[in-house]
Structures are given as structure tokens and as C-alpha cells.
Amino acid sequence: MQSSESFEDEKNEAAVAVGLVKYPDNLNLKDLFYFLLAPTLCYELNFPRTARIRKRFLVKRLLEVVFGLNLVLALFQQWMIPSVTNSIDTFSTMDPIRITERLLKLAVPNHLIWLCFFYLSFHSFLNLMGELLQFADRNFYNDWWNANNISVFWSTWNMPVHMWAVRHVYIPITKRGHSKVVASIVVFFISAFFHEYLVSVPLQMFRIWAFLGMMAQPPLSVISRMAEIKLGPRWGNLIVWSSLILGQPLAIMMYYHDYALLHFTPAKL
């Protein structure tokens, strides 16, 4: 016990010697607000910091944010909304051919907006905040576009959330003796809950399309992994891109159909 306490004392003394923050000196509003604004979900006593703010880099990211927001807004208003609005009849008649046609038509603007929003959020905005706060860890995403299966995609496209899930959900569950499969399913369940929450609350209606879409990811991971092993990595990557291109517009069409039935009069449908 004494050796453990002396070891902690030595660690604290070493931290002070190199100017690092040690507990409980971190319990202050400055540290709290820095964590709330920093582009990370995992708290550390001492975040990696850069020596200075690069003004040219900062201006580039700021211009990207301004331009990206206007681009996404324009694409949404001029392309996305008309495509979604025109899909209501197809779900009302349940014509599979027309549903497929509308789905493919909606997939083009939806995927373009999703790619723009990804770049805007994970590259432009998070780097902007990181530069302002001199936050050195800029690993916000990896090469998810090369993912050979669904599992690789989910572990590379959103690194802040992935690291939080690994640290606070996945590892604690495996340490309790549960399998990695159980831990992964729990992670997807939590993600599915929040995906549905973020959709249901603004729309003021409870549907389970987003929840089911996320809970379909574990079996889809198995399928894409089998395709990768038996047919090659390109087929696994094809499944990843197919799920991205087709899954999102399908969910949008279903939510809009249900929302329109609840809030619009028959004359407006």
C-alpha cells in the first residue's frame, strides 16, 4: 500500500516537474470548458497541445466551413427536398418498381450531401476547433472509404465516437468477462438508441427505422466479412458503399412518408 502511494506521489511530482496538470488541480471551470469545446469525447488530464495557432491553416478551415454550410444548404433545398417530396406517392401505392426508382433518384443528392457534410464536420470544423484550442490530436477519421467490411467502416469513419465507445463501453464489458461479440452488440445498441433519439425527437414521432438500421449493422458486418474472405476485399468494400448509398435514402423516404401521414392533410400529400 505504501509503495503504491509513493509511486503515485512520484508520478505527481514528475507531472509537476514538466508542467503537467495533476488531479485534483484539473477540477476547475477552465479545464471543464476546454474539454467541452475540444474535438474529443474522451477526457484526459493532459491533452496533447500544439505550440502555436497556425493562422493560415485556421483561415482555410474557416472558409471551408462557411462555403461547406452554404453548399450543403443549397443542395438540400434545391435537390434533396424535391426528391424526398416526390417519393410520398411511391410509398402510398407500395409500387416496388417506383420505390426502387425513387430510391435511386434520392440516393444521388443524399450521398453527395452526406460526403460534403462529412468533410465539413470531420475535416473542416473539427480541425478548426482543434486549431483554435491548440489541440494536437487530429485523428478524427481514417480511410473509411477503403473499408473491406462494415466493422472496419464503423471503426474508422468517426474516430471521436469510436474511441469513446471503445473506452467507456467495449473495454469495460470485455473486462467483465463477456465476449467481444456481446460488447460489439451493446455498442451498436447504444448507437441505435441515440440515432433513433436524434430523429424521433425533432420529428415528434416515434418510429424505429433508424434503430433497426443500426441494429442491422452487426449481421451486415458478418455478411461483408464473409464476402471479403470468400470473394475478395473489393466485394466487401462494395457492400460497404452499397449500404451507405442505399440505406440512408431508404430511411429518409420511410420517415418522410410517416411524417407526412401524421402532419399533412390529404390535399397536401
**How would DSSP label each residue in 100-125?**
HHHHHHHHHHHHHHHHHHHIIIIIII
Task: Give me the pLDDT at residue 266, please.
Answer: 58
Task: Give me the pLDDT at residue 103, please.
Answer: 87
Phi, psi of 49 (to 5 degrees): -125, 150
Q: Residue 76: is it exposed, middle or buried by C-beta count within 10 angstroms (0-12/13-18/19+)?
A: middle
Q: Residue 164: is it exposed, middle or buried by C-beta count within 10 angstroms (0-12/13-18/19+)?
A: middle
pLDDT along the chain (269 residues), means of 10: 45 52 88 94 93 94 96 91 79 77 89 94 96 94 95 95 96 94 94 94 90 93 95 95 92 86 66
Task: Give me the pLDDT at residue 155, please.
Answer: 93
Please report which helix (H) or strand (E) contains residue 226, including its range. helix 217-231
**114 in Cβ contact with 248 (< 8 Å):** yes
Task: Give me the pLDDT at residue 267, please.
Answer: 53
Sequence-distant (6+) residues with CB within 8 A of 194 are none
Round to whole Å and give the CA distance between 197 and 207. Answer: 10
Task: Give me the pLDDT at residue 4, please.
Answer: 45
Amino acid (one-letter) located at 155: S
Which residues are the active-site residues? 195
Residue whose grid cell is 410509398: 91
Q: Which residues of 91-109 are buried (b: 16+ CB within 10 A; e: fewer)?
A: beeeeeeebeebbeebbeb
Q: Quick one: cell of 95?
A: 409500387
Read off the pTM.
Answer: 0.84
